[in-house]
Structures are given as structure tokens and as C-alpha cells.
Amino acid sequence: MSPPGGKARKAPRGSALRDSILEVFTRSNGLVSAAVVVLGFLVATVLVIAVGRKPGGMYSAIVQVVTGLDLRSFNWNVRYIGEWFVVSLPLILCGLSMAFAARTGLFNIGAEGQYIAGLTAAQLVAAFGPRVPGLHWFLALAAALAAGAVWGGVVGWFKARFSVSEVVATIMMNYIALYGGRLIQLNMPGANTYRTPDFPPTALLRSPLLEKLTNGSRLNYGLWFTLGAVIFFWIVMGKTRLGYSLRATGLNKEAARYGGINVNSSLTASMAVSGAFAGLAGAIVLLGSFAYGRVLSGQDGYGFDGIAVALVGNSTAWGTALAGLLFGMLKSAQPLMQSRQIPREITSIIMGLVVVFISLRAGARIFLDWRMKEKARKSDAVPAFAGGGQGGAARDGGSS
């Protein structure tokens, strides 16, 4: 029945269109990620123009990283592609570290510490392990996985057993890993304040085939281990009972506990696997990009960049891999941009803008939910008023 006045109230067409667009972009994670990346580049373009530079230099640098083609001279060098992957590998793995924990309802900002723990463990095995081809670097990777898993699993256990905030715990563990690892590295035989002696060739992840295919780049066996990590994430989280338990715990811990899921085990396992991803990243950087041990004076930042990678990738396996490639592309393009008179800081601005824009999705969802509730409240209020009048008239007629 129409409300008093004889005409049904209709929402403005523009308002309905705006709400439908918001609905599409807030419910479709892929569209949101694509949109914010495009928006980030658009804003960066405006900034480049504002500082008196030509944005074509920025985009030509990106094209050169992704394709190897220099648009200025039309020379092609596949080495740029190989180096792009080298930079992207630890970003993908640290992104998986953050994403895996996020699917269980945890906020793992300790990937940096887990990365350093894995790097330090791999460094010890590389320096003192058996110098057997194949076995040497395999043991170093295994040690890095174990160290990262322990570093993350401790936080998960404290969260499950004593309800300790994983945010606070991981922040503290980051500093313990940094300065504890530095103490170990400084006391290795032959080490100075910057580096240790060179590792034996058997400890390195060098791949002659990948180097040849990419014209002498540093691309190494870490490529296959990173791809394996992405596939592992995808299978475990989407196609196993463990993944179901982890996702159920992330959605609602109490409901998961009522359904018979061991929530404490899920929290501990999730953080342990997350730490293993980051620990593997540390080993791949150490043994793939360097021929010696590094004495860290500060954090590399891969763990914190991984948070942004996971956010852009919507905490999914393949989305995180694509986001890691995107961020790796921007980092690889920095020196090329600088050679084209483009401020290298523009890449950090783009990454920051992407994260800020994608974070606004939560605000858009809150706004959209509020609009829907307001519409429902108003639509319920009008029929209630009209129905009350009709019901009253009916009662009056019945009594007479």
C-alpha cells in the first residue's frame, strides 16, 4: 500500500546507481585491487607532472623492467626480467606469511623477525654445513624454514595459551631476531661489522640454467621454491581439512570451537606456517642474491612490505603472488626511473597510495551497510504507519 499522499517514495536514481557501484567494488576483491592500483598510478602521474617531470619516463622504466625492452634505444635485455623476479621473490613469500595468518584471524606483523631468524639459521648452515652439492643448500633452506616456523609458532602459542596480543608479541620478536641475529653474525669466524667470509659454492642457490636464460641475472632456484610455496598455500588453505579449520577459526573462533575445532592448535599452526614462509624468504635472499653472509645493521623491510602485498592480494595465494610481482616491479624500476630524471621515491608513493586506497574499502563497506540499514528502516516505518491506520479502521468497523 502506498503511504499517505498517494505516491510511493522512490530513491533517487543517482543514489541507487552510486550504491550499486559501491556494492560491486566493495564485494569484488579483484576489482578493488585492480581499481586501487590504477588509481595509485594516476595519482603518481599527477605528482610527476607537478614536479616538472615527464611521466613517460616512469612508464618506460616499468616497461623495461617487465619486458626487458628499452623504449629509448629499442635494445632488449632479458636480464631486467630476471632481476625483477629476484626482487619479487621475498616480497611474495613475506606476503604469504602475512596472508596465511590473516586467514586465521591473526595480524602477523612479525614477518620481518621471522625473515631474519630464517636468514640467520641459513647463514650458520651455509658456513658450517656439509659441503655436498645439493645437500648443502637444501639443509640451509630446511634450517631457515624451521627457524621461521619456531619464531612464528612461539607467538601463536602465546596467543592461544595466554591470549597475548600477536601484534605486540611480533613487534618485540622482530627486535629480538634483529639484535640476536646480529650478535651471532658478528661472532662468526672471519666476520667484520658488514659481512662474513664468502660461502662455499655448494651453499648457494645459483642456477646456471636460469642465469643463462636471463642473460646473467641473479635469478636462482628460489624461483621454484617460491612457486611451490604459493601452490602449498593454495592447496592447504582451500582444499584441506587443516585449511578449513584455519579459515573457520579466522571467521569466528567461538563458533569454530563449538564445531569441534581445536582453536588453540589452529592459532599455533597458522603462525608457525606463516613464520616458515618468511624464514624461507630470508634464506632465498641470503643464498640467492649474495655469496657471503650479511651482518644486518637494520631491518631489510621485506616483512613490512609483505603486509602491503597481502592486503593488495586479498590474502589469497595467487593474489598475493601477483601483488608481490607488482611491488617487485616498482622496486626494480627505481634506479631506471632515477636515470630518467624521475624521483625514485615515486615508487614508494605508489605503493603507499595503493595500500591507503585499498584500506578505504572497509570504510566504503561500512558506509554501504549504513545506507542499506537506513533504507530498510525508512521502508519499514512507512508501511507500519499506513498499516496502523488501516488496521484501526478495520477494528472500528468491526466494533460497529
User: CB neighbours of 61 closer than 8 A, spacing ≥ 6?
Assistant: 333, 336, 337, 339, 340, 342
List pLDDT tens digits, range 55-69.
999 999 999 999 999
- The rounded Cα 94 to chain-centroid distance in angstroms is 7
Confidence band for 382, pLDDT divided at 50, 70 and 90: low
Question: Residue 239 has which C-alpha cell?
Answer: 582444499
Map 62-124 to HEC letters: HHHHHHCEECCCCEECCHHHHHHHHHHHHHHHHHHHHHHHHCCCCCCCCHHHHHHHHHHHHHH
Contact between residue 183 and residue 249 where contact means Cβ atoms under 8 Å apart: no
Summarize pLDDT for 200-227 with one digit per residue, the tens: 999 999 999 999 999 999 999 999 999 9
Whole-prediction pTM value? 0.87
**What was the pLDDT predicted at 394?**
44
Question: What one-character DSSP code corresponds to residue 195?
Answer: E
Closest CA to 326 of 28, 95, 53, 46: 95
